[in-house]
């Protein structure tokens, strides 16, 4: 059931991007020809090129043609770079996956950790001050943070390399950059989840059993508060991907993000469409995983064996 | 509610908010006020013309003469930032307007229309949300072309889905509440109940989200401008100013740091207002 | 570790507790002193705001952070002082010297942990037995509290248990450490009457067999009378009266106690009223209402109401009585035309409700209304009292000036002062809110008002007043009531006819007097028997 919905969403992403890009005046052919230097072109050659690429024909015709190709994993040819879109994306996906996974790990670790610590002693002045920090995390533009970090750690202090790839620790700065807003959001959701869990009646029961405050916090409050965190990890995965666009650009990393940016700048429509569909697929995959995690955590959601 | 709980609630509601929160609100409102004035009357706030070139004063660090220093062409950065406020904030408002009008209407429709309408709209928003908003905006910009207005439209359109979701869940809760049913029992027609009960009560959480989304829109717009999709140089805009300074990262730190700082400050202020009102409705610990 | 015969399980001396925040300070308990002897059950009885819950939480050292215990207060459990004790001491005591049974079993157990683990936690925390023995002990405890198949049940999660069983689990948790004292905070108020009786019987059994003492917190005086050895009455944080139960009920010595006793509804039916011969205004004919459950191809149909018939005469009250799941609320909604029966007819004033056209539905709306259990939920949170009461009048198209006059008239009728008009509807007390709901309901002079558990959420004294108000209104206006309740005692004060429901079916029906004094069915008898104090003769002279 979920799987069917997932497929539907990816198909939908394809359709939406197709429709949106269809509105673009001019098409890949004009882009390709322009890329060649903008010299005068033989209209016959142009028409033949169009026919080759299937760019003549009605909306429906082109739509079905492209859809058919996609189902065969043929994502078209990049108008600007000439290579197969599938190939380009194939090269770009692994570094982006590495980046987002790394960032996700950092965010969850620090976001949840922060929330657990701050909520263990809710009345301490430190905790009260710290509670507004996540709001800051959400307020800083990623591109600015990236540049500041780059300046500080790569130019001034020289710990990390300037280009975000090559060595394994080159991934750190780019990952930290996009982890900040994502982690801030996780911290806020976790804080809220913990606050709600702390107010539940079963926490009082646990204390009345003689279990200590810290033990109650870790063993009783925390598991209950994880549910909203899990769901928000999946739903807001888009923030990580969006951050990847900027992070990869600034740190000169190869990946889906920088690929898309180049594609948009060059009006390379097949490439834009390809990246959108693949991105949607990644997002859907992550959500399938988080949805599957739910019954594992919450016994009420499991299908009752009758 | 027990008598004690009611008394406590009343005391809390009428009590002045803690000093820290009030200072925070004051600062936030101040920053926002300055930003708004700068946006509306840039000529008043900026000491110089943003395009004026000061010969021989390239890449000067911040000083008395040039508060934010100068860029590589010798232009006063502070003036450029002030004029950039106009562009960024107006664009953010346009985006906000699109997101909220679209989102509220669709959310109301989805929450109060039949099951088919709701299901269709929900699938549509699921779809929109499965594409990261930045990428969706990029696609829209790719379609419409570059320029600030298009960027604003792109960001606005990308934001509709979230507002729809929020409004819809709010409407669902309110529409099924006991007081809406009591209204029906008291003879209210469906439209009357919708307008007099559902809309005002469902809109409150959405209204709070406006402040939050304002900040997010500013960031999204400046991000797209940073990527080169917004204004055409030499027109100033916060994001593109940071982009311009990128090549001089190690030599002229003020070119990237200061405009970005301004963006952060305004967004923090907007979020601060949001948090204040959110805290006012929530129980104080 | 049970208390020895001389030392009381609980000794409270001069207890004073106040809640303080930046904004206000409020005294919750003032100078309260009483004992709970070894092996005795002492009931602390009071209405909301009396301080009884505060005392319960103070006994286990779990007061909220805003609470301040006054100087010179003392709470000693089995000789160990709780006030001012350091946290490690309190922690060691909780669960092993003093056990706690909370209210609302549905929310007092961790939804993500297995029942066995939650019970076992007490044993492990206080090292009562070795790790390997825990499972065995847990199963023994489950059996002790009357839960079958303990091995299977221990592996299950709270959502797989019924309310009564969850309460038994909570009792198991409370006694696992063999405490000297068990503090039970309203342990049965969220349960059905028959289940309530069973749970209390279990507690009594445990007291008798293990010698544990129980501090029973309750708002229900009759319950205290039926199950406690001694009674302590609290009012506004002060101790009003205390003593052995028997003497207490025969000769109460303070006014407040007398008021409380008088207000507690007794199971004494009102004498049958003349009238009710004319055509009934509401007839329910062999009505069935099916509800579809589940989704994704696996759907089950279950009948909330199955083959129910009864008639309501003009100016009369028919009471629908039953426990949860009986179908009472479904019938209320069917009677109001909010839902359609799957089978059978609902006839109002001679017309089938399901066949009404637009004008007919409008007329139905004007002729009927509802007073529900939680009036606050039925008010728009942003509206004032005046707006709430005026709504039906506005929708009926009445003129502004006429509406204002009528609203004042209604306020007067329900006993509210005009100062309430401007206030936000949610700012009033529970009893006042219910009066507002009643004023709204009778605004258009309806023929039928459905009352769905209108007093279940109110204090006893307030409850008595609301019932009196309802009776008065019926005498004045001749309105008919469809009165729904699980509480037979409350029903007995209003009903002309009673329909007893169980799982959607009619078990017994007839004149109130007959049903209550000479019930024919076993289930009806069980319901009557389960009412605390139901079997006591009304020797207490409650002026009616």
Give the pLDDT confidence of B61-84 residue by residue, as tens digits: 888 778 888 888 888 888 888 888
pLDDT greater than 50 at residue A172: yes
Query: C336, B185: Cβ pair inside 8 Å?
Result: yes
pLDDT of residue A305: 38
The owner of tokens 């819950």 is: C53
Nearest C-alpha neighbor of C501 from the set C319, C254, C250, C369: C319
How far is C214 from A245, CA to CA, in rounded Å?
65
How far is C48 from B5, CA to CA, in rounded Å?
10
C-chain residue closest to B182, CA distance: C378
C-chain residue closest to B9, CA distance: C427
pLDDT of residue B111: 82
Compare B14 and B182 and report the one with higher pLDDT.
B182
pLDDT of residue B227: 85
A chain contacts of residue C103, beta-carbon cutoff 8 Å: 201
Three-state secondary structure string covering chain A = CHHHHHHHHHHHHHHHHHHHHHCCCCCHHHHHHHHCCCCCCCHHHHHHHHHHHCCCCCHHHHHHHHHHHHHCCCCCECCCCCCEHHHHHHHHHHHHHHHHHHHHHHHHHHHHHHHHHHHHCCCCHHHHHHCCHHHHHHHCCHHHHHHHHHHHHHHHCCCCCCCCCCCHHHHHHHHHHHHHHHHHHHHHHHHHHHHHHHCCHHHHHHHHCCCCHHHHHHHHHHHHHHHHHHHHHHHCHHHHHHHHHHHHHHCCCCCHHHHHHHHHHCCCHHHHHHHHHHHHHHHHHHHHHHHHHHHHHCHHHCCCCC
The owner of tokens 């309460």 is: C167
Q: Which residues pair with C69 in a beta bridge?
A: C17
How far is C526 from C197, CA to CA, in rounded Å?
10
**Quick one: residue C69, left, alpha or beta (phi over 0 = left, psi -120 to 50 = alpha)?**
beta
pLDDT of residue A288: 84
Averaged pLDDT of chain B:
83
Element at C28 (helix H, strand E): strand C25-36
What digits encode the pLDDT tens for the residues C274-311? 776 788 899 999 999 988 876 556 677 888 899 999 99
Mean pLDDT of all residues in B187-201: 87
Which segment of A218-232, A291-305, B1-15, C35-49 scores lowest on mean pLDDT?
B1-15
Where does the pLDDT of residue A25 fall: very low under 50, low under 70, confident under 90, or very high at 90 and above?
A: low
Which residues are CB-contacts of C255 (< 8 A; sequence separation ≥ 6)?
none
pLDDT of residue A33: 57
Mean pLDDT of all residues in C89-104: 93
What are the φ/ψ torsions at residue C160 (nearest 5 degrees)?
Answer: -95, 0
pLDDT of residue C122: 94
How far is B89 from A115, CA to CA, in rounded Å?
33
pLDDT greater than 50 at residue C540: no
The DSSP call for residue C158 is: G
How far is B151 from C5, CA to CA, in rounded Å?
83
Averaged pLDDT of chain A:
80
Of A21, A135, A265, the CB nearest to B143: A21
Where does the pLDDT of residue A272 fall: very low under 50, low under 70, confident under 90, or very high at 90 and above?
A: confident
pLDDT greater than 50 at residue C23: yes
A chain contacts of residue B20, beta-carbon cutoff 8 Å: 128
Chain A closest-CA separation from residue C108 CA (Å): 4
Interface check A212 vs C, CB under 8 A = yes
pLDDT greater than 70 at residue B4: no
How far is C323 from B181, CA to CA, in rounded Å?
24
Mean pLDDT of all residues in C219-234: 90
B chain contacts of residue C372, beta-carbon cutoff 8 Å: 178
pLDDT of residue C537: 42
Query: A264, B143: Cβ pair inside 8 Å?
Result: no
Interface check B192 vs C, CB under 8 A = yes
Where does the pLDDT of residue A165 fall: very low under 50, low under 70, confident under 90, or very high at 90 and above?
A: low
pLDDT greater than 70 at residue C126: yes
What digits encode the pLDDT tens for the residues C435-477? 999 999 999 999 999 999 999 888 888 999 999 999 999 999 9
pLDDT of residue C230: 94
Identify whether the C-beta of residue C190 lies closer than 8 Å to the C-beta of residue C106: yes
In percent, the amount of chain C with pLDDT more than 90 equals 61
Interface check A284 vs B, CB under 8 A = yes
Compare A301 and C320 and report the one with higher pLDDT.
C320
The owner of tokens 């301040």 is: C68
Q: Which pair of tokens denotes residue B185?
A: 């029992």
Highest mean predicted confidence (pLDDT) among B55-59, B228-232, C39-43, C323-327: C39-43
Q: Which pair of tokens denotes residue B200?
A: 């005002």
C-alpha radius of gyration, chain B, whole number:
23
C-alpha radius of gyration, chain C, whole number:
25
pLDDT of residue C541: 33
pLDDT greater than 50 at residue C325: yes
pLDDT of residue A163: 66
CA C183: distance to chain centroid? 19
Mean pLDDT of all residues in A136-156: 83
pLDDT greater than 90 at residue A284: no
pLDDT greater than 90 at residue C119: yes
Compare C270 and A185 and report the one with higher pLDDT.
A185
B chain contacts of residue A141, beta-carbon cutoff 8 Å: 219, 222-223, 226, 239, 260, 263-264, 267
Element at B200 (helix H, strand E): helix B199-226
Identify whether the C-beta of residue C343 lies closer than 8 Å to the C-beta of residue C288: yes
Q: Which residues pair with C293 in a beta bridge?
A: C300
Strand C497-502 versus strand C317-321 pairing type = parallel
Helices A237-250 and A222-235 meet at what angle, rounded to 10?
Answer: 60
pLDDT greater than 60 at residue C80: yes
Identify whether the C-beta of residue C440 lies closer than 8 Å to the C-beta of residue C391: yes
Residue C90 sits at the vertex; the CA angle it makes with C88 and C94, to the nearest 5 degrees, is 120
Residue B142 sits at the vertex; the CA angle it makes with B136 and B143, to the nearest 5 degrees, is 95
Identify whether the C-beta of residue C500 lies closer than 8 Å to the C-beta of residue C521: yes
pLDDT of residue C139: 95
What are the φ/ψ torsions at residue A22 (nearest 5 degrees)?
Answer: -65, -25
Where does the pLDDT of residue C544 fall: very low under 50, low under 70, confident under 90, or very high at 90 and above?
A: very low
Nearest C-alpha neighbor of C185 from the set B7, A208, B2, A197: A208
Which residues are CB-contacts of B87 (< 8 A; sequence separation ≥ 6)?
B148, B231, B235, B236, B237, B238
pLDDT of residue A122: 77
Q: How many Cα atoms are found within 13 Å in the side-chain-facing hemisphere of C82?
A: 28
Is the overall model pTM greater than 0.95, yes or no? no
Where does the pLDDT of residue A306 fall: very low under 50, low under 70, confident under 90, or very high at 90 and above?
A: very low
Mean pLDDT of all residues in A136-160: 81
pLDDT of residue A162: 65
pLDDT of residue C180: 94
Where does the pLDDT of residue B8 fall: very low under 50, low under 70, confident under 90, or very high at 90 and above?
A: low
Which residues are CB-contacts of B215 (< 8 A; sequence separation ≥ 6)?
A138, A139, B266, B267, B268, B270, B271, B274
Of A24, A136, A141, the CB nearest to B263: A141
Nearest C-alpha neighbor of A196 from the set A110, A123, A115, A113: A115
Q: Which pair of tokens denotes residue C288?
A: 């069935």
How far is B45 from B51, CA to CA, in rounded Å?
15
Which segment of A153-167, B188-202, C521-535 scores lowest on mean pLDDT?
A153-167
pLDDT of residue A80: 67
pLDDT of residue B62: 82
Interface check A269 vs B, CB under 8 A = yes
What digits encode the pLDDT tens for the residues B105-155? 898 888 877 788 888 888 888 878 877 888 788 888 877 778 888 899 989
Compare C168 and A259 and report the one with higher pLDDT.
C168
Mean pLDDT of all residues in B20-45: 85
pLDDT greater than 60 at residue B258: yes
Neighbouring C-beta atoms of residue C44, cutoff 10 Å:
30
In percent, the amount of chain B with pLDDT more than 90 equals 13
pLDDT of residue C484: 94
Averaged pLDDT of chain C:
89
What digits encode the pLDDT tens for the residues C404-441? 999 999 999 999 988 889 888 888 888 999 999 999 99
In percent, the amount of chain A with pLDDT more than 90 equals 11
What digits encode the pLDDT tens for the residues C184-222? 999 988 888 888 889 999 999 999 999 999 999 998 888
- For residue B72, give the 3-state DSSP assignment: coil
Compare B132 and B277 and report the one with higher pLDDT.
B132
How far is C404 from C393, CA to CA, in rounded Å?
10
Q: Which pair of tokens denotes residue C87?
A: 């946290």
Q: Identify each DSSP E strand in C164-299 by its residue range.
A: 181-185, 213-218, 230-235, 238-244, 282-293
Q: How many Cα atoms are found within 13 Å in the side-chain-facing hemisphere of B40?
A: 6
Which residues are CB-contacts of B274 (< 8 A; sequence separation ≥ 6)?
B208, B211, B212, B215
pLDDT greater than 80 at residue C6: no
pLDDT of residue B152: 92
Interface check B282 vs C, CB under 8 A = no
C chain contacts of residue A205, beta-carbon cutoff 8 Å: 100, 102, 108-110, 170, 173
The owner of tokens 């004023």 is: C439
ipTM score of the complex?
A: 0.80
Mean pLDDT of all residues in A27-49: 60
Where does the pLDDT of residue C497 fall: very low under 50, low under 70, confident under 90, or very high at 90 and above?
A: very high
Note which residues in 24-83 of chain A have CB less than 8 A from chain C.
none
Query: C19, B8: Cβ pair inside 8 Å?
Result: yes
The owner of tokens 């809406």 is: B180
Neighbouring C-beta atoms of residue C254, cutoff 10 Å:
12
B-chain residue closest to C20, CA distance: B8
Interface with chain A: mutation pick from C54, C121, C189, C294, highest number of A CBs within 10 Å: C121
Element at B120 (helix H, strand E): helix B115-130
Neighbouring C-beta atoms of residue B96, cutoff 10 Å:
22
How far is B226 from B220, CA to CA, in rounded Å?
10
CA distances (Å), origin B45, targets B38, B82, B262: 6, 7, 15
Q: Which pair of tokens denotes residue B207?
A: 């209204």
Interface check A31 vs B, CB under 8 A = no
What are the φ/ψ torsions at residue C82 (nearest 5 degrees)?
Answer: -95, -40
- For residue C266, give the 3-state DSSP assignment: coil
Residue C173 sits at the vertex; the CA angle it makes with C170 and C174, to the nearest 5 degrees, is 90
pLDDT of residue B13: 59
Q: Which residues pair with C485 in a beta bridge?
A: C321
Strand C238-244 versus strand C351-352 pairing type = unpaired
Query: B271, A276: Cβ pair inside 8 Å?
Result: no
How far is B92 from B267, CA to CA, in rounded Å?
11
């Amino acid at each position: 059931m979920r799987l069917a919905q997932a497929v539907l969403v990816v198909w939908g992403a394809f359709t939406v991007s197709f429709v949106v890009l269809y509105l673009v005046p001019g098409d890949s052919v004009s882009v390709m020809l322009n890329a060649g230097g903008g010299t005068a072109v033989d209209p016959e050659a142009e028409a033949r090129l169009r026919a080759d690429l299937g760019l003549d024909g009605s909306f429906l015709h082109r739509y079905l043609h492209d859809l058919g190709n996609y189902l065969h994993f043929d994502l078209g040819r990049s108008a600007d770079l000439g290579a197969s879109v599938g190939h380009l994306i194939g090269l770009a996906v692994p570094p982006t996956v590495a980046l987002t996974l790394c960032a996700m790990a950092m965010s969850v670790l620090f976001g949840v950790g922060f929330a657990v610590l701050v909520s263990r002693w809710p009345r301490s002045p430190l905790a009260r001050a710290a509670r507004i920090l996540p709001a800051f995390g959400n307020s800083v533009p990623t591109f600015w943070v990236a540049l500041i970090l780059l300046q500080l750690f790569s130019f001034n202090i020289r710990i990390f390399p300037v280009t975000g790839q090559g060595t394994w620790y080159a991934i750190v700065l780019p990952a930290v950059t996009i982890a900040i807003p994502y982690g801030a959001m996780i911290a806020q959701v976790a804080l809220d989840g913990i606050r709600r869990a702390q107010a539940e009646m079963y926490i009082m029961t646990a204390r009345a059993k003689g279990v200590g405050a810290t033990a109650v916090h870790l063993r009783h409050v925390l598991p209950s508060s994880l549910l909203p965190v899990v769901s928000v990890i999946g739903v807001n995965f888009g923030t990580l991907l969006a951050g990847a666009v900027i992070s990869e650009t600034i740190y000169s990393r190869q990946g889906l993000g920088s690929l898309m940016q180049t594609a948009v700048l060059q009006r390379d429509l097949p490439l834009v469409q390809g990246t959108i569909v693949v991105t949607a697929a990644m997002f859907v995959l992550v959500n399938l995983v988080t949805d599957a995690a739910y019954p594992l955590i919450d016994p009420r959601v499991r299908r009752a064996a009758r | 509610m027990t008598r004690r709980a009611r008394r406590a609630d009343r005391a809390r509601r009428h009590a002045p908010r803690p000093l820290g929160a009030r200072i925070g609100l004051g600062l936030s409102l101040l920053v926002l006020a300055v930003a708004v004035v700068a946006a509306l009357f840039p000529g008043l706030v900026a000491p110089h013309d943003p395009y004026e070139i000061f010969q021989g004063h390239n890449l000067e660090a911040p000083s008395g003469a040039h508060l934010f220093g100068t860029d590589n062409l010798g232009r006063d950065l502070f003036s450029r930032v002030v004029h950039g406020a106009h562009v960024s904030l107006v664009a953010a408002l346009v985006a906000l307007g699109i997101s909220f009008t679209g989102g509220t209407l669709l959310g109301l429709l989805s929450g109060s229309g039949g099951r088919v309408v709701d299901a269709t709209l929900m699938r549509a928003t699921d779809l929109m949300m499965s594409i990261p908003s930045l990428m969706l905006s990029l696609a829209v910009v790719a379609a419409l072309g570059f320029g600030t207005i298009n960027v604003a439209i792109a960001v606005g359109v990308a934001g509709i889905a979230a507002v729809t979701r929020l409004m819809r869940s709010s409407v669902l809760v309110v529409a099924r509440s006991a007081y809406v049913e009591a209204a029906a029992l008291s003879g209210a027609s469906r439209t009357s109940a919708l307008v007099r009960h559902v809309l005002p009560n469902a809109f409150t959480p959405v209204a709070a989200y406006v402040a939050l989304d304002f900040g997010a829109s500013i960031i999204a717009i400046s991000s797209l401008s940073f990527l080169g999709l917004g204004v055409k140089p030499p027109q100033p805009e916060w994001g593109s100013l940071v982009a311009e300074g990128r090549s001089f990262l190690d030599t002229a730190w003020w070119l990237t740091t200061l405009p970005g700082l301004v963006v952060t400050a305004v967004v923090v202020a907007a979020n601060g207002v949001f948090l204040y009102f959110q805290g006012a409705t929530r129980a104080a610990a | 570790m049970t208390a020895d015969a001389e030392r009381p399980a609980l000794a409270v001396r001069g207890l004073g507790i106040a809640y303080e925040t930046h904004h206000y300070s409020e005294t919750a308990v003032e100078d309260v002193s009483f004992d709970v002897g070894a092996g005795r059950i002492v009931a602390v009885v009071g209405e909301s705001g009396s301080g009884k819950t505060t005392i319960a939480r103070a006994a286990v050292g779990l007061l909220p952070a805003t609470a301040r215990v006054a100087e010179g207060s003392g709470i000693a459990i089995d000789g160990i002082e709780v006030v001012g004790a350091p946290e490690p001491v309190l922690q060691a005591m909780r669960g092993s010297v003093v056990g706690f049974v909370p209210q609302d079993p549905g929310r007092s157990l961790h939804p993500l942990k297995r029942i066995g683990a939650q019970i076992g936690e007490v044993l492990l925390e206080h090292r009562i037995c070795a790790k390997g023995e825990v499972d065995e002990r847990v199963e023994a405890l489950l059996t002790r509290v009357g839960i079958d198949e303990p091995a299977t049940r221990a592996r299950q999660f709270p959502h797989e248990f019924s309310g009564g069983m969850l309460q038994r689990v909570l009792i198991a948790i409370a006694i696992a450490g063999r405490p000297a004292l068990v503090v039970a905070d309203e342990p049965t108020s969220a349960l059905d009457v028959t289940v309530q009786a069973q749970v209390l019987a279990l507690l009594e059994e445990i007291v008798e067999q293990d010698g544990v003492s129980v501090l029973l917190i309750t708002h229900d005086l009759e319950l205290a009378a039926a199950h406690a050895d001694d009674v302590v009455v609290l009012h506004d944080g002060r101790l009003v009266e205390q003593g052995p139960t028997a003497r207490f009920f025969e000769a109460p010595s303070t006014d407040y106690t007398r008021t409380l006793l008088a207000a507690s509804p007794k199971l004494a039916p009102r004498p049958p009223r003349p009238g009710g011969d004319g055509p009934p205004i509401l007839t329910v004919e062999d009505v069935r209402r099916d509800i579809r459950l589940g989704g994704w191809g696996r759907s089950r149909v279950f009948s909330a109401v199955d083959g129910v018939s009864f008639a309501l005469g003009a100016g009369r009250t028919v009471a629908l009585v039953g426990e949860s799941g009986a179908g009472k609320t479904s019938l209320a909604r069917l009677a109001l035309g909010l839902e359609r029966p799957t089978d059978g007819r609902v006839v109002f004033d001679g017309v089938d409700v399901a066949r009404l056209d637009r004008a007919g539905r409008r007329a139905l709306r004007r002729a009927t209304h509802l007073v529900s259990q939680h009036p606050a939920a039925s008010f728009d949170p942003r509206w004032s009292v005046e707006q709430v009461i005026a709504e039906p009048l506005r929708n009926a198209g009445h003129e502004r000036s006429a509406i204002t006059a009528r609203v004042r008239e209604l306020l007067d009728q329900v006993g509210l002062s005009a100062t309430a008009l401007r206030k936000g509807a949610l700012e009033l007390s529970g009893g006042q809110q219910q009066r507002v709901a009643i004023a709204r309901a009778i605004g258009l002079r309806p023929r039928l008002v459905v009352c769905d558990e209108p007093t279940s959420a109110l204090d006893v004294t307030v409850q008595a007043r609301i019932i009196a108000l309802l009776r008065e209104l019926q005498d004045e206006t001749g309105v008919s009531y469809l009165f729904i309740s699980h509480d037979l005692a409350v029903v007995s004060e209003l009903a002309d006819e009673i329909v007893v429901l169980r799982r959607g079916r009619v078990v017994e029906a007839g004149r109130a007097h007959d049903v209550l004094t000479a019930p024919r069915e076993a289930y009806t008898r069980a319901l009557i028997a389960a009412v605390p104090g139901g079997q006591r003769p009304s020797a207490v002279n409650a002026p009616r």
